[in-house]
């Protein structure tokens, strides 16, 4: 559904990255007890937001970045995707 989705303005499309289903001690966490993931991969980005002069300022994130966002950030598009503004992103997780 989101293969051809193009966000507007400073919005981004994020695909949630699901957490492990087991604890470090080997206990399996049931679906009902799981919280929604707060990490995700950027799937699509908008062109950026406009400043007061009307100039488009590009976003700091790009497709492929892994990000961390707040628990109640964005708008749920479906069970795996969230649409949010760039200012709702808390940080980019460096891949090492």
All structural domains of the chain, each given as residue ranges with its CATH number in brackets, are 11-93 (2.30.33.40)
Counting every residue written for the chain, the total comes to 96
pLDDT at position 30? 60
**What sign results for the dihedral spanned by CA atoms 63, 31, 28, 25?**
positive
Q: What is the DSSP letter of 92?
A: E
**What pLDDT sits at residue 67?**
95
Which structure tokens are listed for 2? 């989101």
Structure confidence at residue 27 (pLDDT)? 67
Other beta carbons within 10 Å of 37: 16
Residue 26, CA distances (Å) to 16, 35, 36 in order: 23, 18, 20
- Element housing 77 (H / E): none
Instruction: Specify whether the CB–CB gap between 69 and 38 falls below 8 A.
Output: yes
Give residue 58's pLDDT: 92
Give pLDDT tens digits along the chain (96 positions): 777 889 999 999 999 987 666 556 666 666 555 567 789 999 999 999 999 999 999 999 999 999 999 988 999 998 899 999 999 999 999 876
């Amino acid at each position: 559904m989101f293969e051809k989705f193009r966000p507007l303005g400073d919005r981004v499309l994020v695909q949630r990255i699901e957490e492990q289903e087991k604890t470090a001690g080997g206990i399996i966490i049931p679906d009902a007890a799981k919280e929604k993931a707060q990490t995700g991969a950027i799937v699509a980005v908008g062109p950026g937001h406009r400043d007061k002069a009307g100039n488009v300022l590009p976003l700091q994130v790009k497709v492929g970045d892994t990000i961390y966002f707040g628990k109640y950030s964005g708008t749920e598009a479906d069970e795996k995707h969230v649409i949010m503004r760039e200012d709702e992103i808390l940080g980019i997780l460096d891949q090492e």
